[in-house]
């Protein structure tokens, strides 16, 4: 009997010591139940053995349930902390990846820019000429009829109004406005552009007039002149602005000129200072 009491006492104390047991039973209820059980057990009733066994099992199970949070919460907390750590590290890696992607795009952009610049600088002679200024296109101002570009060279670099602007060796326009660090270039297809040109074996003279499209038209041709296709058109130099012989494009049977250099595809241009 004393052994069973000891077992019950141990189970009872264990239940009281477990964290959260007070949430299941009130202290008063436990004391009352304990007094009743001790009283009945002191008379050694036979029916108390199975009851005692059930009570002990219940207390042990309650102790196990009560102690579960204390055993599992540290593990759960550790897993949650590890999860937050992994999330933070993942965000850091994503930011680093974005930085590397941006750097890669910048390298690709600079590579393309260098490739375009090499197309402009076709020979060492061009690089060494002091009367040639290389300029980058900053802004492309296009509208249905008005076409011009802004370049990053101005009066500081010796740029003057009226100077011809080239893409490689092809004429694309002329300077119409200069600032200290920038200039505006009127392109050949602008509605206000007029350039004296010559073409064909006969040296036919005409005026190349911009019409807002990618193909300016030929005006003031000889009477009843029939234009053949794919005849190269050059500047005649009669206006005293553009030097003679700068290639512009080729003729079409509609009386237009297909430009060698597309106005909307300019990245770098050359400005010839030699005649100014």
Compute φ and ψ for 129, nearest 5 degrees: -70, 125
For 200-209, write each residue's pLDDT tens digit.
988 999 999 9
| Average pLDDT across the chain, whole number | 77
In the chain, where the domains are located: 2-72, 131-272
C-alpha torsion 180→181→187→190, nearest 10: -60
Residue 269: pLDDT over 70: yes
For 32-69, write each residue's pLDDT tens digit.
766 666 666 666 555 556 666 666 666 656 655 555 55
pLDDT of residue 19: 47
When mean pLDDT is compared over 25-29, 84-88, 97-101, 179-183, the highest value belongs to 179-183
Between CA 192 and CA 1 the distance in angstroms is: 119
- Residue 239 confidence class, pLDDT cut points 50, 70, 90: confident
Q: Which two tokens stand for residue 233?
A: 């058109």
pLDDT of residue 89: 82
pLDDT of residue 214: 87
- Residue 23 confidence class, pLDDT cut points 50, 70, 90: very low
For 117-149, write each residue's pLDDT tens digit.
665 554 444 444 568 899 999 888 767 668 899
Mean of pLDDT values over 168-188: 93
Q: What is the spatial order of strands in the sheet that 194-199 belongs to?
A: 217-219, 204-209, 194-199, 232-235, 247-251, 257-259
Q: Which two tokens stand for residue 23?
A: 């949430």
% of the chain at pLDDT higher than 70: 58
- Across 65-74, 202-211, 238-247, least confident range: 65-74
- DSSP assignment of 15-60 equals HHHSTTGGGTS-HHHHHHHHHHHHHHHHTT-TTHHHHHHHHHHHHH
Asked whether the whole model's pTM tops 0.75, one would answer no
% of the chain at pLDDT higher than 90: 35
Mean of pLDDT values over 6-30: 53
pLDDT of residue 73: 59
CATH number listed for the domain at residues 131-272:
2.40.10.340
Cβ-proximal residues to 138 (8 Å cutoff; 6+ apart), any chain:
149, 150, 151, 152, 182
Compute φ and ψ for 252, nearest 5 degrees: -125, 160
Q: Which of 187, 237, 240, 239 is nearest to 216 (CA)?
A: 187
């Amino acid at each position: 009997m004393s052994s069973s009491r000891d077992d019950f006492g141990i189970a009872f104390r264990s239940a009281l010591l477990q964290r959260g047991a007070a949430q299941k039973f009130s202290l008063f209820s436990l004391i009352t139940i304990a007094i009743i059980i001790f009283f009945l057990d002191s008379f050694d009733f036979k029916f108390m053995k199975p009851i005692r066994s059930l009570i002990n099992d219940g207390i042990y199970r309650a102790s196990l349930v009560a102690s579960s949070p204390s055993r599992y919460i540290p593990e759960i907390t550790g897993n949650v902390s590890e999860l937050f750590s992994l999330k933070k590290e993942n965000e850091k890696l994503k930011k680093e990846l974005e930085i590397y992607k941006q750097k890669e795009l910048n390298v690709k952009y600079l590579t393309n820019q260098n490739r375009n610049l090499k197309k402009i600088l076709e020979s060492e002679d061009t690089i060494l000429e002091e009367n040639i200024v290389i300029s980058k296109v900053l802004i492309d101002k296009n509208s249905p009829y008005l076409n011009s570009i802004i370049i990053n060279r101005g009066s500081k670099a010796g740029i003057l109004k009226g100077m011809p602007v080239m893409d490689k060796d092809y004429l694309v326009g002329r300077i119409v406005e200069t600032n200290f660090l920038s200039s505006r270039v009127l392109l050949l297809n602008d509605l206000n552009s007029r350039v004296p040109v010559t073409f064909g074996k006969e040296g036919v003279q005409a005026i190349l007039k911009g019409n807002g499209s990618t193909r300016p038209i030929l005006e003031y041709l000889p009477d009843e002149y029939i234009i053949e296709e794919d005849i190269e058109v050059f500047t005649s130099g009669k206006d005293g602005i553009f030097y003679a012989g700068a290639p512009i494009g080729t003729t079409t049977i509609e009386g237009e000129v297909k430009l060698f250099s597309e106005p909307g595809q300019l990245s770098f241009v050359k400005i010839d200072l030699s005649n100014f």
